[in-house]
Structure 1
Amino acid sequence: MTTSISDPREAIRQRAAELGFDACRFTGVESPWPATARLQAFLEAGHHGEMDWMADTAGRRGHPRALWAEARSAIVLGLNYGPDADPLPGLARRDRGLVSVYAQGDDYHDLIKGRLKQLGGWLASRLGADLKVFVDTAPLMEKPLAQQAGLGWQGKHTNLVSRDFGSWLFLGVILTTAALPPDPPGEDHCGQCRACLDACPTAAFPTPYQLDARRCVSYLTIEHKGPVDPALRPGLGNRIYGCDDCLAVCPWNKFAQAGREQKLAARADRVEPSLAELAALDAAAFRERFARSPIKRTGRDRLVRNVLYAIGNSGDPALVPAAQARLEDASPLVRGAAVWALGRLLPRAEVLALAHSHAEAEADPGVRAEWAAVQSA
């Protein structure tokens, strides 16, 4: 059923604030928008990498009405997850792993979805309209919607930038068949600044406002399933899950309202965890440690792969035993990363000795290629 109502926005904003949301704005979804063409160009360039689901769902992802034809309005919610301190100094502590700020607490999907459902139930009883809730697991482009609703604008790093919260907002969306008055859209305030582009350690931005995910540290450490391109591995540094560089350097963060609520607070074991400890995790220990974390979706093998790349980038001989222990790992992905790490940390003679004792017995062609690479380096 479709309902037209005058202007219930203030009541909705008040209820959203009571549920813990920091921003709540509205936009219509019936008109064409430029995000459709940008998505198509992104896919045609292959910038989505192995994220085949983006191409598979492009028809529904291109516009909210393609996902749900009856939708007329979107309510876009923002939840501040800004850190209490700059995360970038952690890059200098090379025996520790750097976890993206958003993943240092419990899984935000669960937190936001629960609140969206509460808000949705409250709305349904008052609007007399149908609605659906979304938290970035459905083929809906939240960031263009957030800009259209006026929460901020998509910056040159393609993430949402808010004048109130900087680059640190989780987004959730409620689509509804109700016709709600729209808020003014967000205006771009990036100006001549290119701090986010210059901060990227792997040059993942071909031009401002365009991201090549295949070079992005967040993509490489989370979405990419196989070995990372050796040319990009040094750029990972000690980032083991995601990357905050382009977000953290945004000048608008200085105006942000810092501080996360308790349920999003960083857990001590996820803020710069020990690389040696993480390298030793087996599957059961991984599941226990990251049970309520978004990190659990990556799986043990990919995380330990990232940890071993960080060990290789550390320059710290004290981490050699942690890497060497993974030469016998059951996962070829992990074994190959261990070979690369040891090739970076050990003198050539010791690398050749290890190759002599391990390479010939290695059955996986990818790991054999890693051994060949370190022997010829």
Structure 2
Amino acid sequence: MADLWTCIRVSADNRKPGRLEIQSMFLERSRDLPLDVSIDLDGDRSDQSSYYDSDSESENSDEDRPGGRVATQGAQIFPTMWRWRSLSIRNLDMSLHQEFLEPIWNGRAPNLERLSMEAHPDWDHNSSSGGMPVFKLGAPKLREIRLRQLPLFFPQCDFITTLIYEDPVDFHVFKQIEYSSPSLVELKFKGYMFDLVWPDQYSHPDPVELPSLRRLTLRLDELDYAGDLSILLHSLRAPLLEALTVHFGYNSTFYLLDDALNQPAVASSYTPVRSLSLEEAHFAKLDVASITARFPSITHVSFVDCKDMRLFFQHLLYPTGVRDGLYESTEVAWPLLQSICMTAATDADTDLISRIFSDRNARGLPLVSWAKGPNSWNYLQKKWESVL
């Protein structure tokens, strides 16, 4: 029963009477079990004006001052830092919260496994300096970091395996990742990709070496220039990469993938990829031949809200079909393909997939499964990730 009390929430908006007593009860009843701590600092902004504009200073308690409520709650939870298993901080503004978070900056979290930090939408990150020195004394078990609208940083830990970085505010972040996290296994990136590699070396960018990376997700910002993604893919060296997800935003995939992967040294980085997920891709005839050639080891492919998928399926189905005899497996695009998944399919798409199944079975290359519908991608993706 003690594990029912391990979720500890600190909120600047919490004005309930007895909130400290309730928090104390949770900490006591959780005993020595690992804690999942969530801190929401959003209420401090509205507190500033109401506190300083009050006509009667005598009515303002210490808890009513900006940061007062989270400060009193923080005083209770910071001594339990050695028990923290996960920490989530939302609506962070260093101009308001640096003093409150000082125990985290200078602390040690020996059992922390997951860290998530998200800036307040109105925070001007240019107004703060010195980076984000979280857990200066170390977090040796930390494996997963999620950052949103914050400078990139890594605590004192040599074994970060998962990084989720949304809406970056730094330049050259992939070079920072290379230097700071050689053990990274999974990287999910969402946001504007301009200046992610050295901007003065677009024609010959420095390689980004991620020797342990196995899963990579890239989602373009709506305003992104498609060529920036091409430059990034051109720069990446990830010899163990097995799963790649690319959100195109309906850009033409050929100009991104073919231009990026047309050199042997680059193409070899993507030969091991077995799972490929394409989101909001707009296919042309050049695309499918390029993609199947650049990723020869694919066993699972997903199409999420893509256009003109029939061109892809027509390429997978050998034009002469099985009626003219069987062909060697090396002559078939993606001979290792086992499953196809899509969020939607037309009748023509379904017919082509049925013909692909028949063709592959006749060649001795049976497909195992295919699924369509809004929930099919999540289902098969989780199933596939459990195999990787």
Q: TM-score range by the shorter chain?
A: under 0.3
Higher strand share: 2
TM-score, normalization by structure 2: 0.25
Q: Which has the higher contact order (CA 8 A, sep 6+)?
A: 1
